[in-house]
Amino acid sequence: TSAFLSQKPKSELVRTSLRLLTSSAYRLQSECTKTLPVEACPTTDIQLVTQQVIQCAYDIAKAAKQLVTITTKENNN
């Protein structure tokens, strides 16, 4: 039982990282779509969209780093 309990937080960290990765990827796609000529409207604030794209990319990198760190630790144990 103690081995199971010690692994559960790792699994939760993996789930949390995967949720962040997935939600950020969807947000990134949505923000990038706003810049396409077909989707863009005259009131589109490109500076705001750019900031959102940067934030999404940062969140994706953060989630990916978390997953690498977690899996590296798990593989070394």
What are the DSSP calls for 20-62, one per residue?
Answer: HHHHHHHHHHHHHHTTSTTT--TT--HHHHHHHHHHHHHHHHH
pLDDT at 77 over 70: no
Rounded CA-CA distance 23/12 in Å is: 16
pLDDT digits (tens, 9 = 90+) for 24-68: 999 999 988 888 777 667 777 888 989 999 999 999 999 999 988
pTM score: 0.71
Instruction: Give the model's pLDDT for residue 43.
Output: 74
pLDDT category at 1 given cuts 50, 70, 90 is: very low
Instruction: Give the model's pLDDT for residue 10.
Output: 55
Rounded CA-CA distance 47/34 in Å is: 12
